[in-house]
Chain A
Amino acid sequence: MKFKEEMEVFSDDKVIASVREGNVRNFEILIERYKTKIINFVFRMILDYDEAQNISQEVFLKIFKNIKNYKENDNFQSFIYTIAKNMTLNYIKKQKRVVLFSSFSREKEEEKYTGISGTQVYEIEKIEKDKLVTEALRLLNENQRLVLIMKVYLGFSYKKIRDITGWTIPKIETLISRAKQSLKKNVIMQERGDKVVK
C-alpha cells in the first residue's frame, strides 16, 4: 500500500512500467488520473451520461490490454485519446445503424439525458444551460464534434489533433471552422431571443 502511495507522485511512464512488470493494481493510479478527462471526452462525443460511463470503462480496459504497445516517452495523452476516439466513433457508427431501425431512440436519448439529475445533483438552471449546449453539439456531425472537443475543451493544437485522428491539418481546419459556424447560428438566435425578452 505504501508503495502505491509512492507511485502516485511518479510520471505516467513510471506507473506504466510498473503495471507492465505485473503490478496490475497500479493501473488504478492511471484510472484515477484520467477518468474525469476520459468521461468528459466520451460524454461530449456521445452526449449520453450513462453510456459514457460504460464506454469509458471499456476505454480503460482497452488501454490496459494495449499497454504493451505504448512506447516509453511517447505522449500517453495521445495514446489514450486515440483509443477513446476510436471507441466513441465506433459506438456512434453502431448507434446510427440502430437508429435506422428504431424511431424511438431519440426520445430514449432525451429520457436518458434528464436521468443525469438522478446520478448527480445539478441546479435546474445549470441543466437548462447544459441542455442548450448539448443540443447545439448534437447538431454537429461526429467528426466536427471530435475536433471541436479536442480544440476547445482539451486545448490540443491542430498538430496534436492530426496525430490522434490521422487527418490532414487542412481537413481539421475545415471541420473546426464549420463546427463553429453551425454553433454560431445558435448564439445569434440566443442573442435575438435575449433581446426579445428584454
Chain B
Amino acid sequence: MECKDIIPVLSKYQDAELDKELSENVKKHLKECKACREEFRLLEKTLFFIKEQPEVEAADNFTAITMGLLHNENKKRFFPLPAFIYSFVFVLFFFLGIFINFSPENTEVRNKAIDSVSELLLNSQELSFLNVRNSSFFDLLGVEYEKRMD
C-alpha cells in the first residue's frame, strides 16, 4: 500500500472500523513510513485533545425538576379531549337556553326535543354521565317559562 491509499482510511483505522486485512496493512505501513506515522500521531493527539474536556454534572435539583415537569404533564391528561370539544358543548347549551323555551305542560314536544338533543350529546360517550332527560337544566327553563307566564 502507498501513502495515498493510507491517508484516506487513517481515520477509520483509528476508530477500529477497518476490516482485519486492511487494518493489518495500515499497521504495517505505519511502521515503515515516517510521514504517515506523523499524520497518525496528529490524529491521535487530536482525539486526546478533545477527550480532555471534563464531564459536566447535572444541577443538584435536576431530577426533582424533571419529575415535577413529568407530573404536570400527567395532570394535563385529566382533560383527555381537545379543548374545542368542551367549548362546543358549552356553546351548544348556551344556545339551547336561548332558543328552547318549552311549556312544562306540553310534555310531548318537550320530550321529543330533549330526546333529539340528548341523542346528539350521548353519541359522545364522555358525556353519558350528564343524563340530560333528568337534568335540572330543563326544569330550570320550565321554571323560567312559568315565571314569565305569571
SS of B interface (majority)? helix
- Residue pair A52, B50 in contact (C-beta under 8 Å): no
Q: B residues within 8 Å of A by Cβ?
A: 8, 11-12, 14-15, 17, 42-43, 45-47, 49-59, 62-63, 65-67, 69-71, 73-74
Number of A positions contacting B (CB below 8 A): 49
Instruction: Digitize A58-90: 1 where CB-to-B-CB distance is under 8 Å, 0 elsewhere.
Output: 001100110000000000000000000000000
Q: A residues within 8 Å of B by Cβ?
A: 24-25, 27-28, 31-32, 35-36, 39-40, 43-44, 49, 52-53, 56-57, 60-61, 64-65, 116, 119-120, 122, 126, 129-130, 133-134, 136-137, 148, 151-153, 157-158, 173, 176-177, 180, 183-184, 186-188, 190-191
Minimal beta-carbon separation of B97 from chain A (angstroms): 39
Max count, chain A CB within 10 A of own CB: residue among B8, B55, B65? B55
- Residue pair A57, B51 in contact (C-beta under 8 Å): no
SS of A interface (majority)? helix
Residues of A within 8 Å of B71, CB to CB, are 24
Closest to A37 in B: B55
Residues of B within 8 Å of A173, CB to CB, are 11-12, 17
Q: How far is the CA of A11 from the CA of B67 in the complex (A)?
A: 20
Q: Which of B17, B43, B54, B70 interacts with A157 by CB under 8 Å?
A: B17
Closest 9 CB pairs of A and B: A177-B11, A133-B53, A35-B58, A183-B46, A57-B66, A184-B46, A60-B66, A187-B46, A31-B63
- Residue pair A61, B11 in contact (C-beta under 8 Å): no
Q: Which of B42, B53, B58 interacts with A187 by CB under 8 Å?
A: B42
Residues of A within 8 Å of B15, CB to CB, are 151, 158, 176
- Residue pair A130, B50 in contact (C-beta under 8 Å): no
Closest to A159 in B: B17
Minimal beta-carbon separation of B91 from chain A (angstroms): 31
Residues of A within 8 Å of B8, CB to CB, are 177
Q: How far is the CA of A52 from the CA of B69 in the complex (A)?
A: 16
- Residue pair A57, B62 in contact (C-beta under 8 Å): yes
Q: Which of A27, A136, A151 interacts with B49 by CB under 8 Å?
A: A136
